[in-house]
Chains A and B, each alone.
Chain A
């Protein structure tokens, strides 16, 4: 019961924060709503017994990625930007496409093969093994190749960023 109430709160609040984020004209306010959104997402992960993912969600998304966004926003004149007309001529077409894509996503999630399926990680298993240990166990055995590929992609992105930013090395 309490769990359902918590889920309801986190889900509604996350959606609300997301909606507030895309509608604010002041970019700083939008960034703060995004922070609230990330924290509520972390709350949903906590309800799913995924402590590790929740902590990483806050640390990586809220603590690192959003800070980088803020860093860029800081260097812009936020108030001048807020005066710029936000509605574009193609807004209707864009929102139509976005709506269709969203509908497809919802239908796929509801009807698709993975709807209602559960992974091998149950709450009891997580409690006995430990949260980090169970994530690490799967990550470094079954999904080792994707993990290494992802780290390689990140390395390439890092080298590329340095090359672009600093021509004379």
Chain B
């Protein structure tokens, strides 16, 4: 029993490290990718040179790191941590401190149900590469995402600032509106794969359509995939859906935050971006599945087979999952630096009058097609 607990704790640490590292490197990617898109150099100054004669030879090695701006995240972090811990005059001090904590906590919690590999057999044990093997995984993730709203409400209300308050109102209504569409699009996936368990959904995507096309969610639910990705983009509250935050001009719910507490909001935003990438990967792009890779090795549709050892198969699966997640992070980043912002009425129109009806129609269509296939 203690061994099982230790394994689960180890898996939790692995998942946490994956998420926090991908999210942390986002602050560097954001600087550099925005620079590439806007034809600038981006961060290339932060760093240090060594003057002592003993270590001077290291300077040429440091220079490319400085030019790439890789010291910038460290400088950012130091700046955030070193700033004064301040709370607004006339605000509610305790709630003001709790809000970013709640927001970050629930952003992380959802990852417990995301599988990053199939079962690993080691020393006579079967270890499912998923922190919590939940029968209701998808509902759990949505529950955690829903609780994230508390951080926004509390930060807006406790700040004693009308701009922050209005930002929180915008944020909550936006998140609630797009959660409806988000849930409705995943229903189609649940209908196709017949489970709410994320691991089962990924396993279902290992099958082949017509003997050659991987049965990934994007191929059986193309409409659902686009709707899900758009709604999830709105949930992250980044451009083009950044009306609740709008750092540069309309001012959002975390205006009255500085230092580490602001850093927590920033990190939570990046964690949410990783969450959207991980969810899109898991639900629509096969999760840890690699095309034609079975438990025994590669089985190609033209009949060729290449045997691969068990550990290598698991390694390919985990790497496949990570590559897909990072690719979606890149796509989200590109969208964020390409599109302009919506107007608020356009945002609500898109959510309620366009995306929700289409996603409901998608459910009906999926049901019809499944019935037709079963009848034939």
Q: Footprint of B on A, CB under 8 Å?
A: 28-29, 32, 35, 51-52, 55-56, 58-59, 62-64, 67, 70-71, 74, 78, 130-132
Contacts and interface: CB of A to CB of B under 8 A. Distances in A.
B153 A67 contact: yes
Main secondary structure of the interface of A (DSSP, over half): helix
Contacts, number: 70
Contacts of A55: 134, 136, 139-140, 143
A40 B349 CA distance: 37
A101 to B, nearest CB: 32
Interface string B117-140: 000000000000000001110011
A62 B143 contact: yes
A58 B136 contact: no
B186 to A, nearest CB: 13
Nearest to B153: A70
Contacts of B153: 67, 70-71, 74
Contact of B176 (A35, A52, A67): A67
Interface stretch (B44-52, B165-173, B244-252, B273-281): B165-173
B92 A67 contact: no
Given A28-B157, A51-B134, A52-B139, A62 B172 contact: no
Contacts of A64: 146, 176
Contacts of A78: 157
Contact of A28 (B92, B134, B144, B149): B92
Contacts of A67: 146, 149-150, 153, 172, 176
A77 to B, nearest CB: 11
A62 B134 contact: no
Interface of B: 92, 95, 134-136, 139-140, 142-147, 149-150, 153-154, 156-158, 165, 168-169, 172, 176, 195-197
Of listed B142, B153, B172, B197, residue having the most chain A CB within 10 A: B153
A132 B92 CA distance: 41
Contacts of B172: 67, 70-71
Given A55-B140, A55-B143, 9 more contacts: A28-B95, A35-B150, A52-B136, A52-B139, A58-B144, A63-B145, A63-B147, A64-B146, A71-B153
A63 B175 CA distance: 11
Contact of A131 (B135, B142, B149, B169): B135
A132 B139 CA distance: 10
A132 B135 contact: yes
A129 to B, nearest CB: 10
A52 B196 CA distance: 10
B92 A56 contact: no
B137 to A, nearest CB: 9
A29 B142 CA distance: 24
Nearest to A67: B149
Nearest to A134: B135
Nearest to B168: A74
B197 to A, nearest CB: 8
Of listed A63, A71, A78, residue having the most chain B CB within 10 A: A63
Nearest to B90: A79
Of listed A55, A56, A64, A74, residue having the most chain B CB within 10 A: A55
28 contacts: A28-B95, A28-B154, A28-B157, A32-B95, A32-B150, A35-B147, A35-B150, A51-B136, A52-B139, A55-B136, A56-B139, A58-B143, A58-B144, A59-B142, A59-B146, A62-B147, A63-B145, A63-B146, A64-B176, A67-B172, A67-B176, A71-B169, A74-B157, A130-B195, A130-B197, A131-B135, A132-B136, A132-B196
Contacts of B139: 52, 55-56, 59
A64 to B, nearest CB: 7
Contacts of B169: 71, 74
Nearest to B106: A63
A81 B143 CA distance: 31
Of listed B95, B139, B144, residue having the most chain A CB within 10 A: B139
A78 B136 CA distance: 37
Contacts of B135: 51-52, 130-132
